[in-house]
Amino acid sequence: MSLIEVVDLSHGYGERQVLKGLNLGIGKGEVFALIGPTGAGKTTLLRIVDLLEVPGAGEIYFDGKCIPRSGKQRLEIRRRMSFIHQKPQVFNLSVYDNVACGLRWRGEKRNRIAQRVDHILETVGLEGYGNRNARTLSGGEAQRVALARSLVLEPEVLLLDEPTANLDPVSTAKIEQLISYIAKQHNTTMIMATHDMSQGQQLAGRMGVLLDGRLAQTGNATDIFRSPQTEQVAHFVGMENIVEGVISASNEGIVMVDIGGNVIQAVSNHPAGKKVYACVRPEDITLALSITQSSARNSFRAKIMLVTTLGPLSRLEIDCGFHLVALVTKMSAEELNLQAGKEVYATFKATAVHIMEKGIRQ
């Protein structure tokens, strides 16, 4: 039985429907990442799970019990959870009072509060900050106060909404470390919304892709990154190469996909005649100046159309009868002198190709 069960949840603001019939179960102790672009409904879902909002339709079950739409029970259940908002909102009080307020609201004893607050301030690396006004802190420090304020309550469920969205890389790393420490130490159930896929992959066991108010796919990171089930998920997880084709032959788990005359070999069990998308991650494509002997089954002669630099990487758009995007390190791009107009050989393995049935749209 899941600790949190979301059933047929729909919610809208005015005319705009934000969540559209969403179902999700989160197990006890599970760390679940909710990934999706801005505006997909991640925050709304978290707000409804935290009982800050009453859903337009559908039910939330907590620990097996259906949560009523109003009444005192909502406060009791809310007190078993804690929500870290995207923009940390610290109260115009001292750091100590900020962290202590949740315990005070629960009627904890004064000396017990002091003990727990001091301990948690140490955990988040803010010892000695107790008397500072929380409004005078930097963004990263404020986020740590917000985290401490939630963690000190030792919630059964921690909801995190883009916990590192506004932070610099160093602060981000600190917060991520803390989150994974808490998950391991306290076995806290967590739902974390993020648009940063690698963060979800790093911290969560399972993730769900929320697109336009619907959970398009749930599964572990590898499933979602390597085997997206729909075109939209494929786009979101960075599958830049999605080419349409028809399976011309299927034999013992290997298929031939006909892409307007060119043939890509892939690992799949789809039958011949099926219309599919063949997806290849740009980093799985290697480029060479001549045909090399390798186990890779797909090799195409291609012409470089455009080269752009992305930090330490070079992104190349190539034309091999169909359009592909490849990512290589900037260094190798320079070594091979890859530039627009040059002819290269693009190679990728049959296992690097993900075949997706055409026409599945959610």
Q: Which residues bind other proteins (CB under 8 A)?
A: 47, 50, 52, 75, 78-79, 81-83, 85, 87, 89, 91-93, 101-102, 105-106, 146, 149-150, 153, 159
Whichever of 61 and 91 has its CB closer to other proteins, that residue is 91
For 308, the enclosing helix (H) or strand (E) is: strand 298-310
Kindly tell me the burial class for residue 288, based on how many C-beta atoms sit within 10 Å of its own C-beta (0-12, 13-18, 19 or more).
Answer: middle
Please enumerate in sequence order all residues whose Cβ is within 8 A of that of 40, keeping only pairs 6 or more positions apart, or say none.
210, 211, 212, 213
CB of 144 to other proteins, least distance (A): 15
Whichever of 154 and 319 has its CB closer to other proteins, that residue is 154
Tell me the residue type at 4. Answer: I
Whichever of 50 and 141 has its CB closer to other proteins, that residue is 50
Tell me the residue type at 361. Answer: R
Pairing type for strands 31-35 and 189-194 reads parallel
CB of 139 to other proteins, least distance (A): 15
Whichever of 167 and 326 has its CB closer to other proteins, that residue is 167
Q: How far is CA 13 from the centre of its chain?
A: 24
CB of 159 to other proteins, least distance (A): 8
What does the DSSP assignment read for 49-112? HTTSS--SEEEEEETTEEPPSSSHHHHHHHTTEEEE-SS----SSBHHHHHHHHHHHTT--HHH
Whichever of 145 and 346 has its CB closer to other proteins, that residue is 145
Q: How far is CA 236 from the centre of its chain?
A: 10
CB of 165 to other proteins, least distance (A): 14
CB of 156 to other proteins, least distance (A): 12
Q: What's the CA angle centered on 292, arms 355 and 248, to 5 degrees? A: 30
Q: How many secondary structure helices (H) and strands (E) does the chain include?
A: 10, 20
User: Angle of helix 110-123 relative to helix 139-151, nearest 10 degrees?
Assistant: 130
Whichever of 42 and 85 has its CB closer to other proteins, that residue is 85
Whichever of 159 and 333 has its CB closer to other proteins, that residue is 159
| Cβ proximity of 255 and 249 under 8 Å | yes
**What are 280's two structure tokens?**
């290849």
Whichever of 106 and 110 has its CB closer to other proteins, that residue is 106
| Cβ proximity of 307 and 316 under 8 Å | yes
CB of 44 to other proteins, least distance (A): 13
> How would you list the strands of the sheet with 16-26, edge to edge?
16-26, 4-13, 57-62, 65-66
CB of 79 to other proteins, least distance (A): 4
CB of 178 to other proteins, least distance (A): 18
Distance between CA atoms of 359 and 50, rounded to whole angstroms?
A: 36
CB of 86 to other proteins, least distance (A): 9
Whichever of 75 and 306 has its CB closer to other proteins, that residue is 75
